[in-house]
Structure 1
Amino acid sequence: MGRWLLLAGLLIIGGSLIGVWRGWLDVPPQWNPWAPLDVQATPNWLTGYKLMRLRSDPALCEQALGSSGLRVSPQADSPDAKCPLIGALRVQGGGVGLSSSFLASCPLAVAFALFERHTLQPAAQQVYSQPVARVDHLGSFACRNVYNRENGALSRHASADALDIAGFRLADGRAISVLRDWPKQNQDAQFLRQVRDGACEAFSVVLSPDYNAAHRNHFHVDVGRWSVCR
């Protein structure tokens, strides 16, 4: 009996998914796995799947980017370069300012916008009762191997899929630094840990000073195919 109930449940779920995919069932976009990601909408259990789809679907990523509020400019493709970039964007800011613009793949740009809206600013309001005005970073695109090794795999930075975040500046001018404030036991350290943990909902990889000494002064975030949060 139990097996038949399980089978019936699976058939109902499968039929419902087919109905949504075919357009026979009308559901809100945030609950439709095949609808474009809306960066402004509250994340749910489908958000990770929608972010994953952006990696292999440039048109879908462009739709998601349209809801991000980011100011971006397209960059010329460099297919023949040592580290080729196709469809790269220069992110110039949005809801939050930047210490400088940075190059990003479309999936990285969307993930950054999702992180800023649903993790960074809520954490700042909770801890400091004010927003973050600027994100300070160490750069994104760099044509190099992991840890700058002579041999080995290319870094996610080599495809503009990664960003190194060094700190934040609040609306009142107060600066929070990963290098200076992570080791402390205070409000700033609490904020940084909250931001690190929440970033794992938007990015597939988040590496903090807890990972190793190479990350003592920044959070490495990327949209690669591996999943690490530490």
Structure 2
Amino acid sequence: MKFSAGKAVRKWAFWRWGRGQSGAAAMLAVLLLAATPAQAYLTAGRVPLPMPRPAEAPEVEQPTPADADKPAEPEKPAAEQRPAGPPPPSACRLALTDAIAIAPSVPDIKGPGACGGPDLVHLEAVILADKTRVPLKPGGTMRCAMATAVADWIRTDMAPLAASLGTRLVELDNFDSFDCRGRNRVAGAKLSEHGRANALDIRGLKFGNGQSLALTERDTPRASREQVLRSMCTRFSTVLGPGSDGYHEDHIHIDLAERRGNYKLCQWDVWDPLPPIAPLLPAERPADAPPRESAEPVAQTPPQPTPAEQPAAAAAVEPEVEVEQEAGEPRPAPVKRKAKAKPRKRRAEHPPFPIFR
């Protein structure tokens, strides 16, 4: 079907209405925009204004350009503004009272690396049941759990051992405690339990009668050393002594290392005393000994053959026979004796080879 724009207007009359409506909408929008500033001006007089600043009010400091560039810091809650205090004491710290040991708390050690640890104390002395102090010389820094184990070991095992020997325990010889290092002081080795403040090295115990119990000396009674060995291996997870690895020949290492399945390591050879060694040189001649007589030289005689060797010696040596000869007679030439020919070995006759057909 063919038709022009004019025919379309006559056919669909609503086009005219549509064009008129769009013009009316545009006019209404212009009127609304013109009325908005006037309405804002009329309502501005009804907005309340602040009161004038009093004359006696202090002057407000104007921010400097440097402070104006900085962003405003948000206000922190009241809980965060309070200074952080020390953490509450642990259950171990509460149990390790002055009636058990003199062990003041030490701040936590963090680093370098994995060295240090939490809940540390400085064990200075152990208090026995009769209020007697057994000092550690020198004092050792260790974890509270390790200090508690050492105190219980001294109070329960070592004090009765000293009483069985007829004396009392007065001192513990401390060789090493906290030290941030590798195992056996080897460069690049795995961190030692000493670096975690979880170990103690002991050389011996000192008694009130002036004697001492050297744990690694062979001359120390074997029964006493074996009793100390059994008590250590029962209470601690690691016990290293002579014969373990060559690094603990002069002290005993104890720690509370945690292992899978609560595995314990107890390596300490309790050796017997060495046997007495005979002197290498003879004893010196006493001064009052009589002088030694010099022996006369004895003429050396050739050895005489034994009766069994006499026939063989006589056959080997033939006596020379002197033959008398007249003057001017020529001396006969010596007769050369022919050596007896050795009999030849007769070859065994072999049967003729069979003829294979």
TM more than 0.5:
yes
**Cα distance, 1:85 vs. partner?**
3.0
| Cα distance, 1:141–1:129 mapped onto 2, change above 3 Å | same
Partner-residue secondary structure (3-state), 2:228: helix
CA distance in 1, matches of 2:181, 2:118: 17
Amino acid at match of 2:163: Q
**Cα distance, 1:201 vs. partner?**
2.1
CA distance in 2, matches of 1:106, 1:150: 28
TM superposition score normalised by structure 2:
0.44
Partner of 1:198: 231
1:1-230 paired onto structure 2 within 5 Å: 59-66=90-97, 69-82=100-113, 83-95=115-127, 96-126=134-164, 128-179=165-216, 181=217, 183-184=218-219, 187=221, 189-226=222-259, 227-230=264-267
8 Å CA contact 1:92–1:102 kept in 2: the answer is yes
8 Å CA contact 1:124–1:191 kept in 2: the answer is no
Instruction: Between the two structures, name the one with larger relative contact order (CA 8 Å, sep ≥ 6).
Output: 1
**Cα distance, 1:68 vs. partner?**
6.4
* Aligned pairs, number: 168
CA distance in 1, matches of 2:243, 2:157: 19
* Bigger fraction of residues in helix: 1
CA distance in 1, matches of 2:144, 2:240: 21
Partner of 2:319: none
Q: What do the CA deviations read for 1:151-177 (whole angstroms, capped 9, x no partner)? A: 231000001100000011101121222
**Cα distance, 1:138 vs. partner?**
0.7
Structure 2 gaps, min length 5: 1-88, 128-133, 268-357
8 Å CA contact 2:146–2:255 kept in 1: the answer is yes
CA distance in 2, matches of 1:131, 1:199: 19
8 Å CA contact 1:68–1:113 kept in 2: the answer is no
**Cα distance, 1:80 vs. partner?**
4.4
Amino acid at match of 1:88: L
8 Å CA contact 1:144–1:157 kept in 2: the answer is yes
**Cα distance, 1:130 vs. partner?**
1.7
Q: What do the CA deviations read for 1:144-203 (whole angstroms, capped 9, x no partner)? A: 111112223100000110000001110112122234x2x23x53x321221121012221
Partner-residue secondary structure (3-state), 2:203: strand
**Cα distance, 1:62 vs. partner?**
2.3
Q: Percent identity?
A: 26
Partner-residue secondary structure (3-state), 1:66: coil
8 Å CA contact 1:196–1:208 kept in 2: the answer is no
CA distance in 1, matches of 2:194, 2:99: 22
Bigger Rg, which one = 2
Partner-residue secondary structure (3-state), 1:89: strand
**Cα distance, 1:213 vs. partner?**
2.5
Partner-residue secondary structure (3-state), 1:221: strand
Amino acid at match of 1:112: V
Partner-residue secondary structure (3-state), 1:116: helix
Structure 1 gaps, min length 5: 1-57
| Cα distance, 1:77–1:148 mapped onto 2, change above 3 Å | same
Partner-residue secondary structure (3-state), 1:99: strand
TM superposition score normalised by structure 1:
0.67
Amino acid at match of 1:110: T
